[in-house]
Amino acid sequence: MKLFLTIAVAASTSLSLLGADLSDSVIRVASTIQSYNPSQPWDKNATSKRKALAAVLANKQVLTTAEMVADANFIQLETTNGESLIPAHVVAVDYEANLALVEPSTELGVATLAEMPGLELSGPAHLGDSVDIIQVQDNGMPLITEGKVQGAEVTSSFVPGHFFLTYVVKASMQSAANSFTLPVAKDGKLIGILTSYSAKDQLTDIISPEIITAFLKDAADGNYAGFPTLGIATTRTTDVHFRDWLKLPTDKGGLYITRILRNSAAEAAGLKQGDVLISIDDKPLDRRGNYQANGYGQLYWSNLIRGSQAVGSTIKLGILRDGEELEIEAALARSPEGIIPSHTYDKAPRYLVKGGLVFQELTKSYLEAFGDDWVTRAPLNLLDALNHPEDYEEGRKRLVFISAAIPTPATLGYESLRSVIVEEVNGKKIEDIPSLIAAFEEVPENGIHVLKIDEKPETIYLDAKASDEVDSQLLQRGLPSLSRDSE
């Protein structure tokens, strides 16, 4: 999907604290966000708005965060003097790394950016380095906050569970407009993008230049692939008795591999559940999975995959299998999406309404809609599927479940039915919503659709004629569509 934006040029007031005039190298971005309703997938939630300051790059493209363009149906930016509006479109976006690249969509917009000096990308920072966080006030005046790099961590900034190298910067920031995300400079060059700020601790998280460099390099050919993964789940080897059972020497660290993701780089390389990952490219891992990174101290092992390599790169893995050390090469690939996607930004959810039963494909976004404490409030069987997808993968591309039962003549007795996983319909295994739709299109000989679910009563009977009549009534009453079979 192509998004259209309007880009605003910041005022050209000199940023003397930076030793260079960078005010013409930053732009304002404001987006209108509208996601799909998790419980009513045919509808959308109310809109919300975000405003940020982004960086113009040397190639006249604009770097911002994925959070600014995710589920955006309208983005409008204006110059600080209110005179210019420039539409633009998304060139590349990585929700996991929280980065997005946009460029003008009109010749006028291209010409406007051509007059702006683009920011060059800085190299890595060192602990103790000074950086400048750039803000622009409503009146167009720049506001510069100096901060100190205190450390580096491997954290997630947008999509939970996806970790990338992040700088931790100590800074006392002021409130200013368009500060959802902000460019950060060092010696007049772009060193990162600020994604969060704790006023209490006066600490900011900044996407590192290493991650930005890898993102831009991948996007340069117009065919963005994304960051690779190995495709394993692990646990620490800190417990003494566990280490004895694994036959791990005291001078060895390592991570115990608890799961190999289906269709992953690890599976292709021959890694097995029960292996202990002890090194990556000859860098030893400690018992918590950290390695010694030059200039940063200890970092989590995933940075050796997602921060240092590209899709298709080959890495060397040192493992311990049944007490014997082995060396395996793995060709890195994108993370397999699996039967439960970790995010569905800019994708329309697939669903089917049949006779009043609402069928959906389970996503992490659906579970997160149960609130801040969704890990305890969401249905237990769906949480189990999220935490143990390997138990549900066989014969499935997605996990289809009944999210609600609208009271209708066809659903009498099933009104309380919800959050149950669908296994079969009319004798056909359900792989995803398209296969579910196809199964219902075949009219059963006795006129009764038979559904197999994972909970009692285990079998549901749906009168075909009555459900068809209900479907017609739902459309007459305003339901926009009974199904969506493509994202």
Residue 403: half-sphere exposure toward Cβ, Cα within 13 Å:
23
Q: How far is the C-alpha of 385 from the C-alpha of 391, rounded, in Å?
A: 7
In this prediction, residue 79 carries a pLDDT of 62
Q: Is residue 9 pLDDT above 90, yes or no?
A: no
Dig out the tokens for 296 from the structure.
Answer: 């940063």
Do 334 and 311 meet the contact criterion of CB atoms below 8 Å apart? yes
Q: What is the pLDDT of residues 359-377, one digit of tens each?
A: 999 999 899 999 989 999 9
Instruction: Tell me the backbone φ, ψ of residue 10, rounded to 5 degrees.
Output: -70, 160
Contact 115, 155 (CB under 8 A): no
Where helices occur in 224-373 by DSSP H, the ranges are 240-246, 265-269, 303-306, 364-368
Q: Quote the tokens at residue 430.
A: 């359900």
Instruction: Render pLDDT for 18-43 as a digit per residue (tens, 0 to 9).
Output: 434 577 788 888 899 999 998 899 99
Helix (H) or strand (E) holding 229: strand 228-229
d(CA 232, CA 255): 10
Residue 77, both tokens:
């930016």
pLDDT at 178: 65
pLDDT digits (tens, 9 = 90+) for 137-160: 887 788 889 999 999 999 999 998
Query: What is the mean predicted confidence (pLDDT) over 85-104?
Result: 91
State how beta strands 483-484 and 351-354 pair: antiparallel
CB distance 253 to 287 below 8 Å: yes
Taking Cα atoms as reference points, which of 408, 414, 416, 420 lies closest to residue 479?
408
Return the closest-CA partner of residue 225 out of 284, 141, 310. 310
Helical H segments across 122-229, by residue range: 209-219
Token match 């419980």: residue?
39
Cis peptide before 457 (omega within 30 of 0): yes
**84 vs 460, which has greater pLDDT?**
460
* Mean pLDDT of the 36-61 span: 91
Rounded mean pLDDT of 410-435?
95
Residue 201 near residue 192, CB atoms below 8 Å: no
Instruction: Provide the mean pLDDT of the chain.
Output: 89
Which range is least confidently modeled, 77-81, 249-253, 276-280, 456-460?
77-81
Quick check: helix, strand or coil at residue 94?
strand
pLDDT band, very low/low/confident/very high, at 76 (cuts 50, 70, 90)? confident
Query: Residue 4 pLDDT > 60, yes or no?
Result: no
Residue linked to tokens 């946009």: 102
Which domains are seen in the chain, by residue range? 4-219 (2.40.10.120), 228-334 (2.30.42.10), 351-484 (3.20.190.20)
Q: What is the pLDDT of residues 310-348, one digit of tens each?
A: 999 999 999 999 889 999 999 999 988 889 998 899 999
Distance CA 318, CA 303 (A): 16
CB 94, CB 100: distance < 8 Å: yes
Between CA 414 and CA 356 the distance in angstroms is 10
pTM exceeds 0.75 for this model: yes
What is the rounded CA–CA span in Å between residue 362 and residue 393? 13
CA distance 56 to 270: 44
Identify the pLDDT of residue 295.
Answer: 82
